[in-house]
Amino acid sequence: MGRRPRQHKLHREEGHPLGRVRGAPGTLRAHAWDYLEALRMQQRTPAAVAGQAKSLTAFFRWCEERGLVRPEEVTRPLLERYQRHLFYVRKRDGKPLSASTQYGHLATVRLLFRWLSRQGFLLANPASELQLPKLPQRLPRAVLSLEEVEAVLARPDVSTPEGLRDRAMLEVLYATGLRRAELAGLSLFDVDASRGTVFVREGKGRKDRVVPLGERALAWCLKYVEEGRPKLASSRDDGSVLFLGDAGEGLHVDYLTQRVRTYLEDAGVEKPGACHLFRHSMATAMLEGGADVRFVQEMLGHVSLETTQLYTRVTVEKLKAVHAATHPAARLARRGEVRGVDAPALTADEVLEALASEDEEG
């Protein structure tokens, strides 16, 4: 199960994310067509390009309703009007757009106008000073306790090929924190049994990484490969997919979500999420176990350390223990009676400096 050299496969040409009609020359739609084509040539993921196309389409419709079709007709005040529109618009269920959705729409529009300016289609960029909404730093919605994890892992019927496959998948999810698309994309040759690692090929942002698999997850993977996978594989199997469906094909990400959700419900776990719930739980467990946030960042494949640091906020048990050990009014017992708790990573001066910075930011 050692890693093999990457193979470059030819894919059929995909349709343009804005559709077949390019738009009249010089219009916003025509320029956006070329902009998205440039993104595709830069090897941006299809999902990322499609997401930008969706945001741009919403912007074009809003502009066209006001008789605006060319980029030079767009001004900063008009973009601010569009920002207010996104803030006040309501979905079919009556709920407003989330801050992240508003941010995504506006960021995409700003990227388009930056490209237009750099390409010389505009003398000035009207979106250069557009202020994007501040995104709330939400914590992961829920994490699994160790008891809940073990209960879920015990649910698959490992006497069947499908159950053996599902047990191996759950073990990999919890051991590595892989995203569901990364799990579905694993090949038979991405698992290195001799090193105890798994090679994640083109994760989010098309970045490769190698992460440790752990002895237990590796053991279940080997058992699945030896006993379960041959019964699921078709005659044309070339080892390109590790986890196979009933017909010997790769698994769709929605199917993974459904399977994991079923096992969570069977185990009596009523927390929101599915595959990503294991990702949150892995990160939180490692941080509570003392792992440096930078190593967890590498495991998760986060580009920004700030994304990983969200997980440090969910280690509530350690926070409670430190509070009980250091705050004079936290408990009746004497200070310092809580054992097994390391000193805070920041000094008092650093904490006060951080608080002052937060006050300045508002």
Task: Tell me the domains of the chain and their CATH numbers.
Answer: 28-118 (1.10.150.130), 146-310 (1.10.443.10), 325-361 (no CATH)
Token pair in block for residue 18: 């804005």
Catalytic residue check, 31: no
CB atoms within 10 A of CB 335: 12
Catalytic residue check, 179: yes
Using DSSP's 3-state secondary structure scheme, residue 192 falls into: strand
The pLDDT of residue 361 is 40
Percent of the chain residues topping a pLDDT of 70: 75
Catalytic residue check, 279: yes
The pLDDT of residue 321 is 61
The pLDDT of residue 312 is 53
Token pair in block for residue 243: 């986890």
What average pLDDT does range 306-313 have in this prediction?
A: 54
> Rounded to the nearest 10 degrees, what angle do helices 76-88 and 99-118 cross at?
160
Catalytic residue check, 204: yes
Q: Find the range with the poorest average confidence among 5-19, 79-93, 113-127, 168-182.
A: 5-19
With CA atoms as reference, report the closest residue to 170 among 208, 221, 210: 221
With CA atoms as reference, report the closest residue to 187 among 177, 200, 174: 200
Q: What are 262-279's pLDDT values in tens digits?
A: 999 999 998 888 888 888
Spot the catalytic one: 204, 209, 223, 323: 204
What average pLDDT does range 4-23 have in this prediction?
A: 50
Catalytic residue check, 302: yes
Cα dihedral 270/178/43/11 (nearest 10): -90
C-alpha distance across the termini of the chain, in Å: 53
Categorize the per-residue pLDDT at 356 as very low, low, confident or very high, splitting at 50, 70 and 90. Answer: very low
Q: What are 189-248's pLDDT values in tens digits?
A: 999 998 888 888 865 656 788 888 888 999 999 999 999 999 998 877 777 899 999 888
The pLDDT of residue 349 is 46
Q: Find the range with the poorest average confidence among 42-46, 155-159, 251-255, 257-261.
A: 42-46
Spot the catalytic one: 29, 31, 229, 276: 276
Spot the catalytic one: 105, 229, 279, 280: 279
Spot the catalytic one: 31, 179, 229, 259: 179
Q: Find the range with the poorest average confidence among 181-185, 195-199, 331-335.
A: 331-335
pTM across the whole model? 0.58
The pLDDT of residue 267 is 94
Q: Tell me: pLDDT of 352 over 60.
A: no
Tell me which residue has tokens 């299809």: 46
The mean predicted confidence, pLDDT, of the chain is 79
Percent of the chain residues topping a pLDDT of 90: 42
Strand order in the sheet with 191-192: 191-192, 197-200, 209-212
The answer to whether the CB of 25 falls within 8 A of the CB of 70 is: no
The pLDDT of residue 307 is 54
**Cβ contacts of residue 20 below 8 Å, gap of 6+?**
none
Q: Which residue has the higher pLDDT, 116 or 208?
A: 116
Categorize the per-residue pLDDT at 288 as very low, low, confident or very high, splitting at 50, 70 and 90. Answer: confident
Q: Which residue has the higher pLDDT, 45 or 244?
A: 244
Rg (Cα) of the chain, in Å, rounded?
Answer: 25
Q: What are 161-181's pLDDT values in tens digits?
A: 999 999 999 999 998 889 898
The pLDDT of residue 334 is 43
